[in-house]
Structure 1
């Protein structure tokens, strides 16, 4: 319910409660607060049961948490098990996921690096110009 309340905050609240109410009245106040919380929960449960009984037998497994927008969307739209709408979101998510394609490229590079056969070796490249024979020299008589 309160995810940001840690041990230091609880310790501070306990010290503050002891200072405000005193050690004599503190157990009575804790009992009355616990009783109030129990009554609120009982009223909430009875209201939920009343709504379920008014809705009828087709809504007997209706959960009020499903009315939260995030839970509703997750349960009825985004699930891929066939109970909700099947919008093909899993296919889209898999198509846009680059991990499979990157794995294929990595495997291809790995096999190319490991392949040491002569056909895989590239021809040697030299930076020297090939010497031309005089009969192959380009000559244009009209250029002179």
Structure 2
């Protein structure tokens, strides 16, 4: 959770804490804060333990971070029970989008061909003046 806080941020938080609470009240505030954090962790651990007991022995190894919808869906898609990896590898979305874009612009989706210049409008030879 706090893995991305650097030394400069910690020093800034410390200075702000000293300015807000004062140097004499700061140790008491830190002590109260750590007590609150311990109580929240104990409450969370008790709630997880009770949920595991209610669900039964088949769910004793459940990870509560797995209940996050994004994590749950990602985990289900990574397990290849439905053959989704084969489908995903066979789909080339960039090619499909390029084909749709070419069709929308009226281009041929096959190999790139240069259009032939219209007949009768030959470009003048290099170095020749046309007047």
* Range into which the TM-score falls when normalised by the shorter chain: 0.5 to 0.7
Structure 1 or 2, whichever has the larger Rg, is 1
Q: TM-score if structure 1 supplies the norm length?
A: 0.55
State the partner residue of 1:128: none
Structure 1: which 4+ aligned runs deviate by more than 6 Å? none
Q: Output one character per residue of 1:59-116: Cα deviation in whole Å (capped at 9) or x when no partner.
A: 1112221111111011223323xxxxx2222112332369xxxxxxxxxxxxxxxxxx
CA–CA distance in structure 2, aligned partners of residues 4 and 48 of structure 1 = 27
Out of 83, 87, 91, the position equivalent to 2:86 is 91
Matches within 5 A, 1:68-107: 68-80=68-80, 86-96=81-91
CA–CA distance in structure 2, aligned partners of residues 55 and 93 of structure 1 = 35
State the partner residue of 2:102: none
CA–CA distance in structure 1, aligned partners of residues 4 and 17 of structure 2 = 20
* Aligned residue pairs, count: 93
RMSD: 2.4
In structure 1, stretches of 5+ residues that fail to align are 81-85, 99-144
**CA-CA distance at 1:12 after TM superposition:** 2.3
More helix by share: 1
State the partner residue of 1:127: none
CA–CA distance in structure 2, aligned partners of residues 10 and 70 of structure 1 = 31
State the partner residue of 2:53: 53
CA–CA distance in structure 2, aligned partners of residues 96 and 54 of structure 1 = 43
**CA-CA distance at 1:53 after TM superposition:** 0.7
Q: TM-score if structure 2 supplies the norm length?
A: 0.60
**CA-CA distance at 1:28 after TM superposition:** 1.8
